[in-house]
Structure 1
């Protein structure tokens, strides 16, 4: 338990730093559309699905590594709260079309990235079908 907690803590530091770097490189105060939030959420969806399809299915992968990469790195790298806040701000500014596009793009691209990640993970992993996965 302590090893998993430490892995999540360290992973959270890494993920947060990566998220900050993405915002620093991509975000502009003049942008009406939060590209960095969309990008990190799509990348995070893809990487988590890739790990689920290839690494998580291997019994030899320690729980602390799953926790550190999943909840730690990717949990702090991606953020639903930033997506929700951006959409609410867009709605409050009466930018209804932009809010709808932002929300739809996040959902469609995130699910698409997760689908591709799962399929690639399955391909490069040990050949476990999604129907055989467990949710331990």
Structure 2
């Protein structure tokens, strides 16, 4: 015979819930350690690559920040290809997306340097260049991710015929 369970007026009781004994304590981020670790490792790799690009192709004060612009546009293009591949083609391991998408490409592309570059241009009396950079980066990054995602889908479609 099933044991009677206490009931609050008007409240349904889930028969799968154990009402007797302590409720197990859940850690808020339980199981997230591997995800945090791969995002951190990927972010370090991406940030070092961006830093290396800045060392190889430095931007002179008061000029259009071409290196950061290209890093952001190229990074967005790679994100477009990557997202199509891992969503439409491959059944990727659960840590691939956080490592490469969030970590590597998130560390490679940079909103903070973009914002600092704009502020520096304005502070140096080059507000027009800063506005061009602001708009050009946004438009080129969006166009890059859209174009590469669509081209990747077309290539996949063409190869599967």
Shorter-chain TM-score: which interval?
0.7 to 0.9
Shift of residue 102 of structure 1? 0.7
Match of 1:8 in 2: 39
**Count of residues paired in the alignment:** 127
Q: CA RMSD in A?
A: 1.9
Larger CA Rg, structure 1 vs 2: 2
Structure 1: gaps (5+ residues): 128-136
Seen in structure 2, the aligned counterparts of structure 1 residues 126 and 9 have a Cα distance that, compared at 3 Å, is farther
TM-score scaled to structure 2, two decimals?
0.71
Match of 1:45 in 2: 76
Q: In structure 1, how many angstroms separate the alpha carbons of the residues matched to 2:155 and 2:86? A: 9
41-50 vs 94-103, greater mean Cα deviation:
94-103
Contact in 1 for aligned 2:62/2:126 (Cα 8 Å): no
Shift of residue 121 of structure 1? 2.6
Q: Which has the higher helix share?
A: 1
Structure 1 ranges of 4+ moved more than 6 A: none
Higher relative contact order (CA 8 A, sep 6+): 1
